[in-house]
Structure 1
């Protein structure tokens, strides 16, 4: 196979690293073209190391199953430019990682570090939190109702509800939640003109925008969680911060970098992805009143709404993997050290798997979406996210008579994690 058969056209490839393409939905047109014409092609983009682009559901699933062949730790698991990669390696003594979270680890470390908190996120433990979460959900619905029939659902409800839940589990005081929200938006939305921090010291992203990493944001996270960690070692409580602060691997305390990284991944991924899916759900319901009518008539469809909104929004758009040894996949010959981009939002609209993949159906069944990943790196917090969303809709839907858009919604500019950042709605409550 010659290079022209493998290479993705420059105009198509450019969208893969352009945060604006993820905000204005051009990325879905790009994915449609790739699945139809070059579902396992190579992107050669100035300023970025070449990478394979995986857009079919079946290929993403197969790669995710083989964690010994497709690695997280050898190179960055998120898209970065050559300039950013070089600067990170210089800062981190040769490591390609600014943080060392679960998404940066392979076996055997990944399993050991995942086990530290896994029990907290299992359904049997979460059942004990249901009433606390329901109380938070009711307060969120009351706040929405108090706006008088018009609000920005993302800013009034979707951002704050899951934030409050995960911060309570983690052990962050309520008065610090706004700070955590700001830092999360600055971390994941670094390339967004509204959400990104305006700072001089910033690790550059890929040409054309790409995934930017702001060292100032990470430093602020570290400073905050260092203080929290010190407190929990002195004053342990029944919260996740205490577990992380006092964790040991193979009889030794985990390093400061690993502890701070653990706090950051729980604090950020624990609410940002859930808020995006929650906002995406109401956006879809506002545009599809027939789907809202289905839910009003049959509340047993709420779990289906949750899964469909996660598929529909797919907050984590991409992850990168590195090939451990020469192999073949998707009809391509891959070499050791090759970089792959797994495009989850593409797999979740693959017509080979999903009927009417571009339509929002609350009664979609089965719904084999890939939004939580698969294999060893299956999202640790998936059960919490689903439970939070289910409870919110159980509280909101009986009171929501109608909803429609009251303006133009907007998505965040980001290649890695993105979702609705504004959602103006008009609604009636019963």
Structure 2
């Protein structure tokens, strides 16, 4: 489509990548629906994104070249798989996992120095994301370091735009999952009763899931979780270190913690974007789009829209939570939101319990992550316990 649309911006320009959030704020004022060869149509305004999320007939999720269950599906296929998946994140499942979640959060936080520096992304965020996700899936601790190395290589290939390497990495990850499936099949009745085994035994429309479908579900849960949970930990720790007044409020009243987490992550998105594709001609954001045009929802802009959030750059704990699209909305709202909220709240609870102060380092500022990652690549802080 780039031969028919004028380039409004370059999302990979150095000035944009230096601070994506600031760049999106500026674009939202100047050009709230912007075209680029890289992202096609970028949506930066809350109202436009709400329209897309609520009209899944016109704005399809089937924007991936590969099977992605159920992320890149539309009804009725999406509905069948969502019905299968949602109980894994329902109240009973969360209650069952809660003691493990709390124990892992406390164990990770317990590694903090008594009085010293910590790099919050690698030492806290990545450790917690790896350990909590493997525990939830029922995967062995021996996978922590191979998965950490895989994530690093995937991030490097993504930043380099190396499609060949990304394809090889996807096959490598799928191979890990297939080995886990095979070991459970060999174990038969002795296989562990965990999330992975339960997914293997699911059916849809009266038939067993294919291995390709099982791998896709487990891949989406794991890859997405590893990136967004670690990014969220870095964002949250840095924000509290930079805002001692809020840090003090949360230490004094933990009942504010859940609202504060969602509000801080509204300001600074851990997940930067999602994609859609038009199924028919449509007018949106002052533009006419034809069928087959690709859109990128920029969550890093949408949740900071001044038209919806008064004082959008401030943390306010009394906002209407329905306006916050941290986990999306509509039929494609993130099914894992209950798990993510529990994980982040448990981690922050443990962090506040185990420390008396978290503050920034004057000589080592945090380093922003580059698109498509959200948050930070490095968050050096000082903690006192």
TM-score normalised by L of structure 2: 0.90
Match of 1:30 in 2: 23
Provide closer, same or farther for how the CA distance between residues 31 and 383 of structure 1 changes in structure 2, counting only shifts above 3 A.
Answer: same
* Count of residues in correspondence between the two structures: 377
Secondary structure of 1:320's counterpart equals strand
Provide closer, same or farther for how the CA distance between residues 60 and 189 of structure 1 changes in structure 2, counting only shifts above 3 A.
Answer: farther
Matches for 1:201-216 after TM superposition, within 5 Å: 202-203=162-163, 214-216=166-168
Match of 1:365 in 2: 319
Structure 1: gaps spanning 5 or more residues: 77-95, 197-201, 205-212
How many Å apart are 1:322 and its aligned residue?
Answer: 0.8
8 Å Cα contact 1:167/1:174 also seen in 2: yes
Distance 1:275 1:398 in 2: 20
Distance 2:214 2:154 in 1: 18
8 Å Cα contact 2:158/2:166 also seen in 1: no
Q: 1:135 aligns with which of 103, 106, 114?
A: 103
Deviations 1:129-179 (A, max 9, x none): 211111111111211145x42211221111111321221111110111121
8 Å Cα contact 1:291/1:362 also seen in 2: no
| Structure 1 position 413 matched with structure 2 position 381 | no
Distance 1:188 1:252 in 2: 36
Q: 1:72 aligns with which of 42, 61, 68?
A: 61
How many Å apart are 1:265 and its aligned residue?
Answer: 0.9
Structure 2: gaps spanning 5 or more residues: none
How many Å apart are 1:353 and its aligned residue?
Answer: 1.4
Secondary structure of 1:104's counterpart equals coil
How many Å apart are 1:400 and its aligned residue?
Answer: 2.0
Match of 2:83 in 1: 115
How many Å apart are 1:414 and its aligned residue?
Answer: 2.8
Q: RMSD in angstroms over aligned alpha carbons?
A: 2.4
Matches for 1:142-157 after TM superposition, within 5 Å: 142-145=110-113, 148-157=115-124
Distance 1:273 1:250 in 2: 32
Q: 1:174 aligns with which of 131, 141, 165?
A: 141
| Structure 1 position 104 matched with structure 2 position 72 | yes
8 Å Cα contact 1:154/1:420 also seen in 2: yes
Distance 2:202 2:184 in 1: 11
Distance 1:163 1:312 in 2: 25
TM-score normalised by L of structure 1: 0.81
Distance 1:422 1:32 in 2: 22
Distance 1:23 1:274 in 2: 21
The runs of at least 4 aligned residues of structure 1 exceeding 6 Å deviation read: none
Deviations 1:34-90 (A, max 9, x none): 2212212333x3xx5x822211011111101111111121x33xxxxxxxxxxxxxx
